[in-house]
Structure 1
Amino acid sequence: MSNQPYEGYEGYDPYQQRYPDPQYPEQQAYPQAQYPEQQQYYPEQPQQQYYAEPQQQYAQPYPEPQQYYAEPQQQYTQQWQGQTWETSVQPPPAAAVDMTETAYLPPQSYDSVPPEPPMAGGTEPPAEPAASQEGSYGPATTTGNPRITDAQRARAEGRSPIIEPGMQPAALTALLGLLLAGGAAAGSYALLVPLVILQAVTAAGWFRLNGMWPARQGIALAFLGGVVADVALLGVGKEHAPAAILGTLGVWVLLVVVLQLRSHAGADERMYGLMATLASAALAIIATGHLAAAADAVTVGGIAVAVAVLARALPLPTPASVVVALLAATGSGVAVGGMTDYGSKGALLALGAGVCALIGHRVASYDYPSRFVHMTAGVALPLAAAAPAVYVLGRAIG
């Protein structure tokens, strides 16, 4: 082998000053002055070609990934560029809306005319009076809340949900009471006609008072219970009146329960129907007490109820109206009792019948009822509620 250095590396000693000379320890192992000389032995052109060509080979086949990743980066930048994450500059969250305040909206008239522009001189036309509102459900709301009834609306506005029937239902009650009194004086079969009317109106009025309308099957079942009690009483006689009335009531309770169990309605609806049917049938059957009582007791009680309801319908404050009604019923008992065998004891019977009549009148006034309720339950409940008092007090004082 030749001892000559390779071409291009002339004058290069790889072991030159590789290790420090012991005689000159201060000399550095790798002086920086040798780097420029070393760089001249490595031509720049081959290095650029060697490293540039692979870089171009890898760069050219993948030009699209750079463009692919650049576009989503720009999209995310545009999407989250706003003040979304700047919580310090966001407005405070709105307070929770009270749903009870938006549950009721005042009714709006859809046929109203838009307001006219102001007149000359800055004056505005006089406002027209608001249209009268019916006793019905409120308008539908946009918040998803269920519509409220008039009774709920009255409570929310601080008004009483009690509306008394008034003079017209009281007049019908007085007329039906007088018919009962006259029928009792004429005989049991003459009393049966106004009694059946009373039982029919009682059954229909109770269902309507509870918001269940139409309820033909329940009304028919309750009314049929009253008629069966009347027939049973006429069959066994007045001396067995408690057995006839209570027996019919027990059979009807069982019948109503069985029929409700066969219903395919929901549990809540079946419970409401069961309670309403039982109460309606019980009231219609209890009204048979007028047929079971003595004739003079029915006469005194019927007139007392008529007078008490008419006095209660007078435009007086409620406490004063109640007192006046009871005094009027007691006075009528004294007057009518004097014409019968009861004498002055008729006042006690009339007072008891008047108290029961006012209770029925109050029940018919509850929960913001409608005009139909007043003309059914408001007419029948005072007389139906007074039937037990007429029967019991009549036998007690007779």
Structure 2
Amino acid sequence: MNDQPNRPHQPYDPYGQQPQAPQAWPGQGYQGYQGHQGHQGHQGYEDPQAAQQYTQQWQGQTWETQNHQAVPPAQAPDPETAILTPQSPPQRPAGPAGADASAAGYGPATVGGNTRVTDAQRARAEGRSPVIEPGMQPAALTALLGLLLAGAAAVGTYALLVPLVVLQAVTAAGWFRLNGMWPARQGIALGFAGALAADAALLASGRSPAAILGTLGVWVLLALVLQLRSHADPDERMYGLMATVAASALAIVAGGYLAAAADAVTVGAVAVAVAVPARALPLPTPASVVVSLLAAAGAGIAAGQVTDLGTSGALLGAGAAACALIGHRVASYDYPSRFVHFTAGVALPLAAAAPAVYVLGRALA
């Protein structure tokens, strides 16, 4: 017989220790543990609700719950037209010197699987126009470069080369920056080299326009070969090929000033120098276009009186101004930066007007 009084059965503890409440994390309350008092015997472990009292429940915030906000599928925005709301991005460890966690011109990366959108896409999604005109300062530079072309053409062919080479260099650089490809030194150098080759071919052939077409064909083939040797993705190679071909074509076509008659260059360049600042006036777009064309026609008449074109300079001036306004519009598209305005915004109006100057100059001579 055992004379010991009946005692509740205690769970076997091989180490002779009683269960203790686990320590709570700093700053976090431990609410899942209620102790084992009041639950004696095997009943405390057979009851599922009581057993859950010994299970640790984490009430705090982890790194994932802090920085990754779940987006319900029904409320997830369209990846193509997503508008990113400003939020504080998670802190990332510092990378190499000069490295930036987000690329320029793009919104912050999202945690809901949305693609990053460009400034132009954001403007369209928010109902804003992606077209920003360069303004008066780039227009003034265009006017200055146009007057330099007009004055140099009156001096002689080799004097015309100086402002023409500047125009071709700025055209090649501005086109790549307009397409968001920067620095793109190889493509800019290739386009500018094509322009110099076309100028040399024009001088060697007696300013024959066939030199422009021949150089353009060779440079398209050269750009194709260089892009085929690239190790970039197929989409990036195609995008680079089109940008390189377009930049080379614009820079080479600007050599039409060298192929055109000196009087036509003088009239056309003066007309562009007047049309672009008139387009930059604070007027509604249709009104500014009309004012620009009328001003260019008047400038063409005035410059034609100095040259042999006479009143026919009005037609040449209006045609050159129409092409210049197309180049001005292209430089304004896709939410451009100030650097684009001071490169493509300055050069594209004059470069686009070069074919009209050559064709109309030959027709009106």
Same fold (TM over 0.5): yes
Q: Hey, what does 1:262 align to over in structure 2?
A: 229
> Secondary structure in 2 aligned to 1:99?
coil
Post-superposition shift, 1:141? 2.7
Q: Hey, what does 1:161 align to over in structure 2?
A: 130
Provide closer, same or farther for how the CA distance between residues 265 and 340 of structure 1 changes in structure 2, counting only shifts above 3 A.
same
Q: How does 1:142-161 map to 2 (within 5 A)?
A: 142-161=111-130
Determine whether 1:186 maps to 2:158. Answer: no
Determine whether 1:225 maps to 2:205. Answer: no
Q: Deviations over 1:145-202 (max 9, x none)?
A: 2321110111011010000000000000000000000110000000000000000000
Q: Hey, what does 1:200 align to over in structure 2?
A: 169
Post-superposition shift, 1:106? 3.2
Q: How does 1:131-150 map to 2 (within 5 A)?
A: 136-150=105-119
Determine if contact 1:181/1:299 at 8 Å carries over to the other structure. Answer: yes
**Structure 2: how far apart are the matches of 1:77 and 1:261?**
71
Q: Hey, what does 1:394 align to over in structure 2?
A: 361
Q: Hey, what does 1:104 align to over in structure 2?
A: 84
Q: Deviations over 1:203-230 (max 9, x none)?
A: 0000000010010000000000000000
Q: How does 1:234-253 map to 2 (within 5 A)?
A: 234-238=203-207, 241-253=208-220
Name the % identity: 75
**Structure 1: how far apart are the matches of 2:223 and 2:234?**
15
2:317 corresponds to which of 324, 342, 350: 350
Q: How does 1:41-80 map to 2 (within 5 A)?
A: none
Post-superposition shift, 1:74? 7.7
Provide closer, same or farther for how the CA distance between residues 143 and 319 of structure 1 changes in structure 2, counting only shifts above 3 A.
same
Q: Deviations over 1:53-111 (max 9, x none)?
A: xxxxxxxxxxxxxxxxxxx99879989xxxxxxxxxxxxxx77113238641137699x
CA RMSD of aligned residues (A): 2.5
What's the TM-score, normalizing by structure 2?
0.75
What's the TM-score, normalizing by structure 1?
0.69
Q: Hey, what does 1:375 align to over in structure 2?
A: 342
Q: Deviations over 1:368-388 (max 9, x none)?
A: 000010000000000000000
Q: What 5-or-longer segments of structure 2 have no aligned partner?
A: 1-44, 53-71, 91-103
**Structure 2: how far apart are the matches of 1:280 and 1:385?**
12
Post-superposition shift, 1:142? 2.9
4+ long deviations beyond 6 Å: 72-79, 107-110
Post-superposition shift, 1:139? 2.9
Q: Hey, what does 1:326 align to over in structure 2?
A: 293
Q: What 5-or-longer segments of structure 1 have no aligned partner?
A: 1-71, 80-93, 111-134
